[in-house]
Amino acid sequence: MLGTTTSKILQMLLGNEYISGEDIASTLGLSRAAVWKHIETLRTLGYIISSQSGQGYSIVSSPDIPLPEEVTRHLPHSSIDWIVTYLPQCTSSNLVLKDLAGKGATEGHVIVTDHQTAGRGRRGRQWLSDPKSALLFSVLLRPKLPPDELLPLTVVIGVVMAEVLRNLGVNCELKWPNDILVDEAKVCGILAEISGEPDHTDYVIIGIGLNVRGSRTLDDYGATALDAHITPPHRGELLASILLSIEKHYRQFTRKDIDNILRRWEDLSATVGRRVVIHSATGDIEGTAIGLSPSGGLYVTTSDGKLEIKSGEVSLRHTPPNQH
Ligand code: BTN
């Protein structure tokens, strides 16, 4: 979104407490007047930049925009080559990334946006959020596994999000497969979209919508946002901590070493031990959720015995789990 030179100046400002106009000018081969113009561009975006004679420029505060410069400065030692693109508005970050994936984009491409005109939710639903009130992004992964081995990845990403939010002090829980709830209200949704052949995955797009600030739209849906529970961090920093956590958990997933992640999901779960109704393509199934299968399915005991649910929508019931 920023021009190359403005982006470089922003990176220099973010990496230094103070930096003189002269240093910026000589590093980038610019005049002092040109540096000042780029600083003005950043101020127009909402950056508050002080300019002290003898010390130079300093960022006093950054606007809460998840610009790539704000994200990647927190990702210095990543094993995935994260390439973050910020779009003020798009149809759906999943759709934009699908297009890039089809054109050969590599693993680690991320699209983050402030507003979606056609946000996609699970099961063909819309995903609505007010401009600038959420962290909306999609991540491109290219796991070397067939599509039918990818179910655990959705559970793994649920754990990623729950861990990041818990580290921020949000007392969240997971609803199978990967909704994040606080006091039973949804704070974050995850949509994984897979493209490939039966024996080969071309790509997976993980789309995440995290409600950061409350709005009428969320109230209408009975959803919640981070600011009802904590003072949210800058969305750039938040995205960086999510990407770092994805990286760590995704490595475990590709090594097929996810037992501890599955157990962690159960510990963080609002689902296990509860009466549930699974709305599946073949009808509703009622029972008690008892845990996760090794492939990330939900084990449910029903009047017909123990079932492994691999797809469907879960409703949590409020009756105690004293019968099937
Ligand atoms: C759900 O239904 O719970 C999943 C919602 C996923 C929404 C996110 S927002 C960013 C990304 N782009 C989309 O169009 N959808 C996902």
pLDDT at 45 over 90: yes
Ligand 1 pocket test, candidate residues 99, 120, 178, 181, most atoms within 8 A of CB: 120
What's the confidence (pLDDT) of residue 54? 87
Quickly tell me which residue has 């003189």 as its tokens: 20
The residue-averaged pLDDT of 1-30 equals 96
Residue 282: pLDDT band by 50, 70, 90 thresholds?
confident
How far does the centroid of ligand 1 lie from the alpha carbon of residue 220, in Å? 17
Tens digit of pLDDT for each residue in 255-274? 999 999 999 999 999 999 99
Tens digit of pLDDT for each residue in 91-105? 999 999 999 999 999
> Which residues are within 8 A (CB) of 73 and not within 5 positions of it... i.e. 6 or more apart?
11, 14, 15, 240
Ligand 1 pocket test, candidate residues 93, 113, 127, most atoms within 8 A of CB: 127
pLDDT at 42 over 60: yes
pLDDT at 320 over 60: no
What's the confidence (pLDDT) of residue 41? 98
**Whose C-alpha lies nearest to ligand 1, atom 15?**
120
Residue closest to 298 by CA, chosen among 220, 288, 147, 114: 288
What's the confidence (pLDDT) of residue 321? 42
What's the confidence (pLDDT) of residue 319? 56
**Whose C-alpha lies nearest to ligand 1, atom 16?**
207
Helices (H), the chain: 4-15, 21-28, 32-45, 68-72, 93-102, 151-167, 216-221, 235-254, 259-267
Ligand 1 pocket test, candidate residues 128, 133, 186, 208, most atoms within 8 A of CB: 208
Residue 324: pLDDT band by 50, 70, 90 thresholds?
very low
Tens digit of pLDDT for each residue in 107-158? 999 999 999 999 999 989 999 999 999 999 999 999 999 999 999 999 999 9
Q: What percent of the chain is predicted at pLDDT more than 90? A: 90
Whether 91 contacts 116, CB under 8 Å: yes
Pocket, ligand 1, Cβ cutoff 6 A: 92-94, 116, 119-122, 125, 127, 136-138, 179, 189-191, 207-209
What's the confidence (pLDDT) of residue 323? 39
